Amino acid sequence: MATYAIGDIQGCYDELLQLLEQIRFDPAQDKLWFVGDLVNRGPGSLEVLRLVKSLGDRAITVLGNHDLHLVAVDAGIGQLHRSDTLDSILAAPDRKELLQWLRRQKLAHFENGYLLVHAGVLPGWSAQQAVELAHEVEEVLRGDAHMDFIAHMYGNNPQAWGDDLGGYKRLRVIVNAFTRLRICTPQGEMEFKFKGEVENIPEGYLPWFDVPKRKSRDASVIFGHWSALGLVHKKNIIALDTGCLWGGPMTAIRLEDRQLFQVACANPVAKHW
């Protein structure tokens, strides 16, 4: 029995199948952890969604920004972008079942010392607090009030966490941290425009995982989202978005022994940063 964490898929279905073949994934014994962004920009978003859903409890996925974008578009709240490749899902006969399943996925998962998120964790949050805050959003997304929440989900403010935050402002900060965070100030103020390489980070900011004394450092945080960062494999940080969509490989790591597995991208699109 093994657990494999896999970086951003973004509709790259063929590469996902190749990666599962390379790791000899056995759904009777093994588990898959996905860092989110199952869909969008790549050509096989519908097939990826169906595959991961079919795995049931053998797969754990956390929601990424592209997954939430799909949820918002399905709800009639978000707008399709020119670069989106979501039409096949929106036209699928099983659209309703797929979107209901997606909306019920997690924002964070903590198990055996590993914390799985899509983008990042604010420096003031411990791993346990991160899971508790994620649950606040998960509960709303799964409930009857999810449409109202989605209508208030987008926005860059507040840019920092405060224990006294309430309502949609509180939920928005949680969503932004887990699905959009790359860099922040040492005090935890987030910045959302930057997508590039570490050496080009604007003054006053640093990668969220490099903030001194961040409270989640006792866990090994597995994340994706930052394709320009690439693979990072350290004791308490595992970054797995190696940019398969943009011409890089798709990456998996076996958590039991930290062995890496990669397959090459078949049909890259133009770089985006």
Cα separation of 244 and 13, whole Å? 11
| 127 φψ region: left (φ > 0), alpha (ψ -120 to 50), beta (else) | alpha
Which CATH number, 3.40.50.180, 3.40.50.2300, 3.60.21.10, 3.90.420.10, labels domain 3-263?
3.60.21.10
DSSP 209: G
Q: What is the pTM of this model?
A: 0.96
pLDDT tens for 145-162 read 999 999 999 999 999 999
pLDDT tens for 71-80 read 999 999 999 9
pLDDT tens for 227-242 read 999 999 999 999 999 9
pLDDT at 268: 73
Counting residues of the chain whose pLDDT is more than 70, the rounded percentage is 98
pLDDT at 267: 74
134 three-class SS: helix
pLDDT tens for 186-199 read 999 999 999 999 99
Cβ atoms 13, 39 nearer than 8 A: no
pLDDT at 266: 81
- Write the secondary structure of 31-42 as one string of H (helix), E (strand) and C (coil): EEEECCCCCCCC
pLDDT tens for 171-185 read 999 999 999 999 999
Q: Would the pLDDT of 29 be above 50?
A: yes
Q: How confident is the model at residue 270 (pLDDT cuts 50, 70, 90)?
A: low
Q: What share of the chain is helix, strand, coil (3-state, %, to 5)?
A: 35, 15, 50
Cα separation of 198 and 12, whole Å? 26
pLDDT at 273: 39
